[in-house]
Copies of this chain bind each other. A is one copy, B any other.
């Protein structure tokens, strides 16, 4: 893909080169902290209407690029579009999280169709094409999916819970049944990610938001192994595909994740321990992160110090500057500007 050659400096970092000024973007950068987003959101109706109307999805994807000139755009979508394409009911209710029909017994799981209806995801591909066409060549376009474990936690519980106990319990009690959900997600995520690359994505990110609740054996089986299969499956069809993993909360399990999955970079959360990351992660792959989103809300000297910590901890290696998790709706835009200035003025 020609775009991959052009989309510097973001892709250079994934390809093995350190940038003097780290590329920067923010998880959930197309979001409620932006007035222009809230305006489109109000027009679109429901959250899924926003995801599945290419005109709207394109617009909100581009908004943070126009305003902040970030080094990467991430397609506006949601990790639950795969269960949706698998025929599961997915609803987003205002002020609550997502709601699905729980898939919490082996009998219910047996009804799950193995193949997604990809025509339902065509609007995402169309939005990617439109964004890529409008985006300056030097800006990377990121496609994404949820990791099977994280998507499965929502499919099993029907919603988010404090530590995703329902899926963990099902995986203990009925590992074979649970594996059929994971397998369906692996296969369809490969297809979906390849589709996103074909539609113009330069890079892919796999969000495993709930990886941190798993004990080591389960982390290996339900986070590392399915992610490894996705990375291999995508590369079997797009050999030079660049992939970022984000097993949030993996802590000291992160080196094993990096070694086994074959990702080109990992996103790290704000609680990561710097020397472990430098010695056993950044020595092998690029690192993306990891400002505490609360520091971005706090602003002032606390924000400057938190930014400097990220730059000093990871700036001597391959770094993509980002938050440790998504930006929160109450974040002042002036603080985002303060962050971007400070990162772009940085010279290690």
Contacts and interface: CB of A to CB of B under 8 A. Distances in A.
A217 interface: yes
A95 to B, nearest CB: 15
Contacts of A271: 212-216, 219, 249, 251, 253
A123 B168 CA distance: 39
B169 A298 contact: yes
Contacts of A302: 172-173, 175
Query: Could you say which interface size class chain A belongs to?
Result: 35 or more
A300 to B, nearest CB: 8
A309 B219 CA distance: 13
Contacts of A256: 273
A79 interface: no
A interface SS class: helix
A202 B174 CA distance: 42
Interface stretch (A29-37, A53-61, A289-297): A289-297
A169 B328 CA distance: 13
A21 interface: no
Of A251, A292, A298, A324, most buried by chain B (CB within 10 Å of CB) is A251
B216 A274 contact: yes
Contact of A276 (B172, B214, B252): B252
A162 interface: yes
A216 B168 contact: no
A48 interface: no
Interface string A298-338: 10101101100100010000000000100000000000000
Given A249-B251, A252-B276, A253-B271, 16 more contacts: A162-B162, A169-B294, A169-B297, A169-B298, A172-B306, A173-B298, A173-B302, A212-B271, A214-B271, A216-B313, A217-B305, A217-B309, A249-B249, A252-B252, A252-B272, A256-B273
Closest 6 CB pairs of A and B: A251-B251, A252-B273, A172-B298, A172-B302, A252-B276, A252-B252
